[in-house]
Structure 1
């Protein structure tokens, strides 16, 4: 199956689309939206394509000049040569926070490094792209097979271990990581202010998430923000209750917290870590005190 057909298959059920950005974006069923000049390639919960925007006359072959991997698809403007380069992922990255965070962070580091290698537009939001189904664009298929993250990482000398050392960037998938980290850190403490019911808490998380999102140089689409807010709200409301917190506080005093944690010999490190997070400790503090990696602490959070 060709990559253009795969592009069509992986389109969201109701993607954003338009023939003219001046007239604004519309939302329709895929069967109608797929014929537009510009269309949304990825939904709010899964990333099938990494898309890069090159505003240069030789965009169609620039990837080869800089030693980047061959795109699966290139959709090029016949008037000026500017193009969108599309890389298909063999395993889509789940951007909703109930997915695994390690692949998301690895993918974010790869995406940022490829953007730098290609010299792609940092301001490109990734929400919509030149539609390779539409005959308005000059479309080329260079690579027929989808890429694994490791395949792409080979071109930029980036291993999962090196990716963990790199700070998350305010670009592409990095925004999903940053939004989750900031929202979760706030939620662990804020939920204790009145113990709201779920609908109140969901609205509070959404308001906070929107506030964080507008500070990104290129904000995420609101649908992605809503998915992240719902994920954080659901987990914290289920796990951080007045009863569990009061029980924890009843057994500890601020000056005795360190001693109490050391006395929990019967508890696993994971449960100790959850207790610490519930009391307001950061991921970094939990990692240092329990001598575990940040990745392990994030995994404890996700499994609750």
Structure 2
């Protein structure tokens, strides 16, 4: 019998996924044809997240998402021995996690993922790299939602008050990826200009920096993921940030024509020295002295409408 969800899962696998038949012995990498036979498999591609995955370690995990008013997972992959399960939500559009991706969508995705994890009461220590392989006969699989999710659709089920915060939750799922990308690439943009190193040396520097940031998480990302992030940042910055392009940028931005334009625009905005003109009449009367408050407090209250002229 055809299973469209399982076909989608297999179509979206990386070309060379990480896999394991026993997690106690670590993971290996191989072509999809070999990895698809394993008990555990990497289900998202290195720079594109097509699935939101959650590890629910309790009996009844296959169905109790319904009792929690959570959206129906696309797939549940259940251990028949204890009832624990991985819940996978298929996304219509993948979430780009490469270092040249935009941070705003990644932050939104991280907020949705974390809110859904809370609703499901899923394991906060789950790295999200491997899941129970639904192709393996040891697990029980069930399909609940045939339609692909958008992040907005998932958000309709959730409380996303935290999504408006500037800070994301750094200790879970995409939050860790987002934070590690953000911190490492910002460091890399500056650091690469200090000597313009050869690629191998630069990759090692990026890896060491990313590893140091990763140790700051309560539950660090797997070393494989850290290396992947470091490699992506190293490769991208090494190709985009060159000594020639940087020198050209400095030459252009410091040219007499550009400096002249900046000066004329600045002069129009500042109207003499860049500082706003004082209210000479009030500075002569000095009403703040009579009110027994400072000049700064007076103008603050005046701007708020608490003091009438």
Matches of residues 46-85 of structure 1 in structure 2 within 5 Å?
A: 46-85=48-87
After superposition, where does 1:75-154 map in structure 2 within 5 Å?
75-154=77-156
Partner of 1:243: 247
* CA distance in 2: counterparts of 1:188 and 1:96, whole angstroms: 15
1:299 matched residue in structure 2? none
1:165 aligned onto 2:168: no
Higher alpha-carbon deviation: 87-96 or 36-45 = 36-45
CA pair 28-262 structure 1, distance change in 2 beyond 3 A: same
The residue number in structure 2 matching 1:13 is 15
Partners of 1:4 and 1:16 lie apart in 2 by: 18
Partner residue of 2:205? 204
Judge conservation of contact 1:105–1:164 (CA < 8 Å) in 2: no
Corresponding position: 1:214 with 2:236: no
Q: In the alignment, is residue 181 of structure 1 matched against residue 185 of structure 2?
A: no
Distance 1:19 1:192, change over 3 A: closer
The Cα of 1:182 is off from its aligned counterpart by: 1.2
TM-score (norm 2): 0.74
Q: Runs ≥4 in structure 1, deviation > 4 angstroms?
A: 234-237, 244-251, 259-262
Deviation, 1:196, is 2.9
TM-score, normalising length from structure 1? Answer: 0.75
| Cα distance in 2, alignment partners of residues 187 and 94 from structure 1 | 20
Indicate if the aligned counterparts of 2:100 and 2:236 stay in contact, CA closer than 8 A.
Answer: no
Report the alpha carbon displacement of residue 214 of structure 1 after superposing the two structures with TM.
3.1
With over 3 angstroms needed to count, the CA separation of the structure-2 counterparts of 1:125 and 1:261, relative to structure 1, is farther
Gaps of 5+ in 2: 267-309
Contact 1:44 1:223 in 2 (8 A): no
Q: What is the CA distance between 1:210 and its match in structure 2?
A: 2.1
Give the aligned partner of residue 225 of structure 1. Answer: 226
Residue 219 of structure 1 deviates from its aligned partner by: 2.9
CA shift in 2, pair 1:217/1:8, >3 Å: same
In the alignment, structure 1 segments of 5+ residues that lack a partner are 252-258, 267-304
